[in-house]
Amino acid sequence: MKKALLIIDVQKSAVGRSKLPQKIEKLQNQYEYVFVSQFQNKGSPLLKLMPWTGYDDEALAFTPATKAFTFKKKGYSSYHFKMKDFDEIHLCGFDTDACIYKTALDLIEKGIRPIVLKKYCFSENQIFHKMGLKLLTRNIGKHNIK
């Protein structure tokens, strides 16, 4: 079974005072394959269609492992075609109710098992995080949330 860790949008503007970036930085050492997504404001349809101005600082809030494949994205999903040969991808990062949720659904549709690492995920606030976990439980199954 080929599995990987996908770190979603752990950027300075997204994390606030969270200690999650330091925990995620250590977590990536447990995986042979690591993907890191980074939301990019420029050209994002979200900025045109949503009442949101994007991240003030798009820089990552942690140092990706040397082995990590880092890529930029302009939407909610962090699925990348380089993930197509994986059986299982573990998800962590920001936001549980948006980018993590959308990515988990996209992985299922590609035939890849998503495992949401709930202790390594968060949203803008606890309420959104809990709502995201409830929706994930319904749509990917409780057994895929660890």
pLDDT tens-place string over residues 6-25: 999 999 888 877 889 999 99
Using alpha carbons only, give the angle 90, 95, 100 rounded to the nearest 5 degrees: 35
Domain boundaries, the chain: 3-144
pTM: 0.93
Instruction: Say what the pLDDT of residue 104 is.
Output: 98
The CA distance from 102 to 49, in Å, is: 17
* Fold classification of 3-144 (topology level): Rossmann fold (3.40.50)
- Backbone φ and ψ for 2, nearest 5 degrees, come out as -100, 120
Mean pLDDT, the chain, whole residue set: 92
Residue 50, pLDDT score: 72
Q: How many residues does the chain have?
A: 146
Span 41-53, pLDDT tens digits: 777 767 777 766 6
pLDDT at position 57 is: 64
Reading the block at residue 38, the tokens are 């980074």
| Predicted pLDDT of residue 122 | 93
Q: Which amino acid is at 85?
A: D
Cis before residue 95, ω within 30 degrees of 0?
Answer: yes
Side-chain half-sphere CA neighbours of 121 within 13 A: 29
Q: What is the pLDDT of residues 59-77, one digit of tens each?
A: 899 999 999 999 999 899 9
Tokens for 19, please give them: 């200690």
% of the chain with per-residue pLDDT over 70: 94
Q: What is the pLDDT of residue 48?
A: 74
Tell me: pLDDT of 35 over 70.
yes
What would the mean pLDDT of 117-143 be, rounded to a whole number?
A: 95
CA atoms within 13 A on the CB side of 97: 11
pLDDT digits (tens, 9 = 90+) for 97-122: 999 999 999 999 999 999 999 999 99
